[in-house]
């Protein structure tokens, strides 16, 4: 009898020592701790190989010594040790008999630690989940020319499973310091804004936005644009996104006196028609492009258009190189002012996550 008890104890200990086991279709077997899986890949952490990612289609069998959280297509979660047979999962729940789940219905596997992190990600605080970066560029010349140029840019993004907040700001200030140079300030513009998106369905979302701009050389004291509308995710993958947006905005412009023209205000409602595109190029570069058209609803034929294009290339985990081009076209600028304002910045980008 005592010998049987020892054999039973050794059996339990050996089972615990082996941990989770994953058998592949080619007969290979991995032992360790299953951390997570979706319907594309499974991650197992072993003592000697570290964290290993396996294609989901290559998995033949799973035997877990720990309780796993098994999520299905209908949103149901079953918790327990998992064993598989053919195309079926058997989950040994603590409250009763094993629950059988078809492999095709499984959308995720998570251990306790990953499940806790996943549940926390569903309801992050406002200060959690931010990513972004700051861009700084400076140029100085002396001798035959005497100029200085400072370019600053900032962007931040917080994306969850149901909404997204984006913020941006950029500024260019340049002077010609040569004696008698007219004008001495050759660029002085600041732009900034924020947008909130809320997902209504897999592809449909609503948005609200606020954008602001000043431009001393155009005599623009402040342009405020408040808008909202609907957007549609045409493409939404891990490498490529393409969104179309449409809505309404209210624009208020305040211009100061310049070149003999009197100061004036201009307020009007306009349509918002736009598209936004992002693409990951390789492992280190992200390309982004935005184009917007704002036709005036009160003065037919008058409109404003914006176009932005940029790239960010990572040099290491926190440092990158950023290039940004922007063009703002206004059909009815103040007298004596040009219709186009072009902004080009380049420099180092310091990224952050929180």
Higher pLDDT: 135 or 195? It is 195
Beta bridge pairs of residue 221: none
- pLDDT > 90: percent of the chain: 32
Q: Residue 16: pLDDT above 60?
A: no
303: which strand partners?
Answer: 295
Determine, yes or no, domain membership for 1. Answer: no
Look at residues 104, 122, 140 and tell me which one is the last residue of a structural domain.
122
Closest CA to 189 of 44, 330, 324, 343: 343
Highest mean pLDDT out of 3-7, 93-97, 262-266: 262-266
Average pLDDT of the segment spanning 330-343: 85
Whether residue 150 has pLDDT greater than 70: yes
Is the pLDDT reported for residue 39 higher than 80?
A: no
Residues in CB range of 214: below 8 A, 6 or more apart: 189, 190, 220, 221, 222, 223
Q: What was the pLDDT predicted at 217?
A: 84
Q: Examine residue 7 and state whether it is found in any structural domain, yes or no.
A: no
Confidence class for position 248, pLDDT limits 50, 70, 90: very high
Q: Are residues 51 and 114 in the same domain?
A: yes
**End residue of a domain, out of 99, 122, 145:** 122
Residue 15 sits at φ, ψ, to 5 deg, of -65, -40
Range of the domain at 60: 13-122
109 and 46 inside one domain: yes
Which range among 144-158, 246-260, 311-325, 332-346 shows the weakest confidence by mean pLDDT?
332-346
Whether the pLDDT of residue 164 is over 70: the answer is yes
Q: How far apart are CA 187 and CA 166, in angstroms?
A: 26
Residue 7: predicted pLDDT: 35
**Which of 334, 308, 114 minimizes the C-alpha distance to 211?**
308
> Are 142 and 117 in a shared domain?
no
User: What percent of the chain is modeled with pLDDT above 70?
Assistant: 95
User: Of the spans 57-71, 126-140, 275-289, which averages the highest pLDDT?
Assistant: 275-289
Q: Tens of pLDDT along 273-299?
A: 999 999 999 888 999 999 999 999 988
Q: Is residue 6 part of a domain?
A: no
Q: What is the pLDDT of residue 1?
A: 42
Q: Distance (Å, rounded) from C-alpha 264 to C-alpha 59?
A: 70
Whether 155 has a pLDDT exceeding 60, the answer reads: yes
Residues 213, 85 share a domain? no
188 and 321 share one domain: yes
The number of distinct structural domains making up the chain is: 2
pLDDT at 9 (0 to 100): 38
pLDDT digits (tens, 9 = 90+) for 167-181: 999 898 999 888 888
194 & 299 share domain: yes
- Ramachandran angles phi, psi of 3, nearest 5°: -65, -40
Q: What confidence category does residue 49 fall into, taking pLDDT thresholds of 50, 70 and 90?
A: confident
* Domain final residue, candidates 122, 147, 182: 122
């Amino acid at each position: 009898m005592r010998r049987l008890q020892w054999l039973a104890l050794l059996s339990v200990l050996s089972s615990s020592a082996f941990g989770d086991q994953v058998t592949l279709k080619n007969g290979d077997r991995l032992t360790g701790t299953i951390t997570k899986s979706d319907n594309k890949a499974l991650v197992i952490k072993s003592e000697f190989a570290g964290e290993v990612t396996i294609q989901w289609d290559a998995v033949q069998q799973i035997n877990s010594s720990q309780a796993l959280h098994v999520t299905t297509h209908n949103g149901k979660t079953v918790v327990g040790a998992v064993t598989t047979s053919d195309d079926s999962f058997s989950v040994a729940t603590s409250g009763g008999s094993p629950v059988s789940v078809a492999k095709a219905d499984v959308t995720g596997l998570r251990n306790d630690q990953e499940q806790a992190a996943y549940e926390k990600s569903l309801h992050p605080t406002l200060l959690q989940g931010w990513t972004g970066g700051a861009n700084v560029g400076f140029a100085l010349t002396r001798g035959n020319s005497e100029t200085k140029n400072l370019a600053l840019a900032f962007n931040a993004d917080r994306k969850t499973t149901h909404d997204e907040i984006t913020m941006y700001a950029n500024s260019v200030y340049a002077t010609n310091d040569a004696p008698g140079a007219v004008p001495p300030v050759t660029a002085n513009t600041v732009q900034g804004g924020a947008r909130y998106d809320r997902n209504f369905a897999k592809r449909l979302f609503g948005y609200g936005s606020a954008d602001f701009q000043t431009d001393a050389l155009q005599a623009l004291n402040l342009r405020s644009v408040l808008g909202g509308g609907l957007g549609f995710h045409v493409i939404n993958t891990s490498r490529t996104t393409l969104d179309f947006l449409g809505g309404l905005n209210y624009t208020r412009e305040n211009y100061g006196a310049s070149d003999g023209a009197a100061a004036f205000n201009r307020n009007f409602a306009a349509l918002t028609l736009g598209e936004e595109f992002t693409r990951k190029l390789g492992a280190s570069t992200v390309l982004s492009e935005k184009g917007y058209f704002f036709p005036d609803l009160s003065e037919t034929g008058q409109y404003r258009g914006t176009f932005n294009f940029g790239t960010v290339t990572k040099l290491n985990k926190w440092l990158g190189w950023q290039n940004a081009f922007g063009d703002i076209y206004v059909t009815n600028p103040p007298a004596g002012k040009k219709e186009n304002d072009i902004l080009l910045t380049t420099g180092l980008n310091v990224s952050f996550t929180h």
